[in-house]
A and B are shown apart, each in its own frame.
Chain A
């Protein structure tokens, strides 16, 4: 029986949904499951880690692990992978996952695949499918080594509602700190903002919003809907939106139930970050904007006219 080790996605002390999605996929493949959780003050999450669908929980809980550092984090994953004898080692889609996966793979001499959207097991043979070239093509990849380290693309697997697990904690000793790459400070995102990766609804703003007042108007729509608030590259470059709000090939890849592209023309790099969304609404002045080629619903119009009406109408429906 194949063994799948899932790296717990913990943000601000909360276990994120992707952990259960990955464990659900592992179970559907008939695999034995374990999670590895790395952080500080996280032991209280043990019941959640089990309930997410794991039968063993490897936990590295140490004050030194409070701030993310790829080296020590990867060491914990490697240690858990060795103890569990994992065949498949899966990270959820996150910057920490993208930073750690290649390290873990190099240390284990394992295959490494990022942004996978599917995995198949045929006996010992592992195959994965992943998009490449800004989502323009898909690759089917055959794994030759015994182990595969993978980063799973956001929204690729669905959580099984009925999934359960059992508590069986294995404590990992804290790894050595990385003395050559020392994290000095974390300048955190504005607190209370909704994480783009978690949000059911994501609303992104583009060049059409013109300036701060325009951005603020779209942001109010996002607040109404308790939506994640994202951005196109242009608004980040223009200094109107933070780097970590950029949706696209180079930024966040999102797959919410509803994605609203407001004043975004739809450059290929942006599309690569959001076309996995269930439903897409686009608002743009230019009827020829490429965003309309991927949108389920398109409103051709000036966002300064459309957004206030959108807010009003959505409020009516929700009340």
Chain B
């Protein structure tokens, strides 16, 4: 089985963000692998270990992405493809999906695994749109993957009414939830080996396409500006005798907030 996994580098959500003149202040920001993509990498490596598979990672982004690809190598990914093209800086999910579709078409992949969303946009569109572009079956928000045979997998999806058990005829796309696994910490040996491995770096021309070809000249939407979120203010905090303060707070919930 050949697995294609996607990973994106995103701003570290643990950091405090500031907005100035409609843009996020870049100063002091750090970028890390999108947490859900890390789950996708772990899921791919587990399939390789348990069922035998060749795993390839694709990442779209600037030169900073190479350290993330090496981290994925250290986790057990076999091959890395880095799509680095300045034209894609403002690309939306649909355009990125079309670029990833081009990458898919360069290899004979059986399964695509993506994170269910990226922590920077929280959009959750690219993986599903990729399946639409390729005309492949897709199951999103997946919490378990089981290989039936070379052509079929069985996945569990968290849906509105419960856990849906879905059989997917390959090739197909799954987008994974962070509930699927706990990503491993790379071992030292893996980290050392990863340093020597080759990364295939391509721009859009190298991929046999162009910005226009992937819909870049007709973006369906664009971000006009970023704004500060309205933050909640800390309210009243009570310390002391548990009975006393709890009675007080219940009274406030009932008579001040009027929510009981």
Contacts and interface: CB of A to CB of B under 8 A. Distances in A.
B132 A281 contact: no
Given A112-B220, A114-B122, A296-B235, A105 B94 contact: yes
B224 A313 contact: no
A109 B133 CA distance: 11
Interface residues of B, number: 82
Interface stretch (A52-60, A168-176, A182-190, A212-220): A182-190
Contacts of A96: 159-160
B164 A131 contact: no
DSSP majority for the B interface? mixed
Contacts of A82: none
Interface in A266-319: 268-269, 275, 278-281, 287, 292-302, 305-306, 309-310, 313-314, 317-318
A145 interface: yes
Given A68-B159, A275-B232, A302 B237 contact: no
A133 B242 contact: no
A294 to B, nearest CB: 4
Interface in B30-88: 36
A111 interface: yes
A189 B252 CA distance: 34
Given A105-B125, A106-B132, A11 B242 contact: no
B137 A313 contact: no
Q: Which of B11, B36, B182, B250 has the most CB of A within 10 A?
A: B250
A317 B228 contact: no
Nearest to B167: A182
Interface in B10-32: 11, 13-14, 16-17, 19, 24
Contact of B246 (A142, A280, A295, A310): A310
Contacts of A223: none
A111 B138 contact: no
A122 interface: no
A295 B231 CA distance: 11
A135 interface: yes
Contacts of B13: 133-134, 136, 268-269
Interface in A124-148: 127, 129, 131-145, 148
B169 interface: yes
| Chain A interface size, under 10 / 10 to 19 / 20 to 34 / 35 or more | 35 or more
Interface of B: 11, 13-14, 16-17, 19, 24, 36, 93-94, 97, 116-117, 119-125, 128-129, 132-133, 136-141, 143, 154, 158-169, 172, 177-179, 182, 218-229, 231-232, 234-239, 242-243, 245-247, 249-250, 252-254, 257, 259-260
Interface of A: 11-12, 67-68, 70-71, 94-96, 98-99, 101-103, 105-107, 109-115, 127, 129, 131-145, 148, 178-189, 201, 233, 236-237, 243-244, 246, 249-250, 257-258, 268-269, 275, 278-281, 287, 292-302, 305-306, 309-310, 313-314, 317-318
- The 10 A-B pairs at the shortest CB distance, nearest first, are namely A180-B137, A298-B237, A296-B235, A111-B220, A106-B132, A188-B162, A181-B137, A102-B128, A111-B221, A313-B250
